[in-house]
Amino acid sequence: MKTPQGAPNIPTANYTVKALVKALRILECLGEEEAPSLTLTELSRRLHLHVSTVHRLVVNLHREGFVELDPVTGGYQLSYRVLRMGLRVLDRLDFRQVARPLLRDLNQRTQETVHLAILQGHQALSIDKVGSPQPVGLDARLGNLMPLHCTGVGKTLLAFQPEGVQEQLLHALTLERHTPQTITLPALIRKELLKIRAQGYAIDNEEMVPGLRCVAAPVIDHLGNVLAAFSVAGPASRVTQERVPGLAQLVCDTSREISFRLGHRRV
């Protein structure tokens, strides 16, 4: 394999800078944590690092503008500089610009939360959403990571992968049970994925969160690759079993239109 220009042919392990890796783990921890901020002690416990090490790294991250001090809690949180960096990454996902007006239209027609997700490792990553105007809606935070085996967008992303990629993902998944409805047997998941691919949409029937139901479909590019998945989601009291077929039709219509605008032509 040809080495990229400017990149010396040295094993990756020799490039490891331990302090940098630890600093990146701090940023990742702050980004994944549900709490708005974490103290040095809390970071130390979560990352299994000495408090003095965490303090030294956080001081540098703070000085460079990647974290900031929360004056109320006394903990540290990611700064808006990190947000700007993340938004630059999202801007590179051109299909979002194509999908957004159609997802907004879907939101208006269903009056339910619509959110968009991509495959990130072995999970689905939420990258965009249009909130429900209803008093009770889905709190789908951007940046949330969701399981593939028990969410609408996750199952959709899994179902529309090439067979080899799908098998690799299935072998890597931890099939955790979140509710009594969660499918955890590999054979049943494979059967579910075949059904999703055939009908063009997936249903999360309270499989991740009790009382939450959603209908999801894929975004396909001009090469036939699944770029993303989106779903209409809401309380099961509103997104009833009787309402699912109508929502599925709307979701599939939206999926076809977004994919068509991205150059996908069904054969």
pLDDT in tens, 86-136: 777 766 667 888 899 999 999 999 999 999 999 998 999 999 999 888 765
The 10s digit of each residue's pLDDT in 132-174 is 887 655 666 777 889 999 999 999 999 999 999 999 999 999 8
The 10s digit of each residue's pLDDT in 186-215 is 999 999 999 999 999 999 999 999 999 999
Contact status, residue 259 vs residue 218, Cβ threshold 8 Å: yes
Among 130, 137, 174, 139, smallest CA distance to 154 is for 174
Mean pLDDT, range 43-52, rounded to an integer: 94
Residue percentage of the chain with pLDDT more than 90? 71
Domain boundaries in the chain?
A: 12-85, 93-261
Looking at residue 6, its pLDDT comes to: 42
Largest CA distance in the chain: 61
Q: Which residue has the tokens 């699912």?
A: 244
Mean pLDDT, range 15-42, rounded to an integer: 89
Does position 37 have pLDDT exceeding 80, yes or no? Answer: yes
Listed as own residue / partner, the contacts of 39-48 with beta carbons closer than 8 Å and 24 or more positions apart are 39/73, 39/74, 39/75, 39/76, 40/76, 42/75, 43/76, 47/22
Q: For domain 93-261, which CATH number applies: 3.40.109.10, 3.40.640.10, 3.30.450.40, 3.40.50.300?
A: 3.30.450.40
End-to-end CA distance of the chain: 36
* The pTM of the whole model exceeds 0.75: no
Residue percentage of the chain with pLDDT more than 70? 90
Among 215, 249, 246, smallest CA distance to 230 is for 215
Amino acid at 164: G
Q: What is the mean pLDDT of the chain?
A: 88
Q: What topology does CATH give the domain 12-85?
A: Arc Repressor Mutant, subunit A (1.10.10)
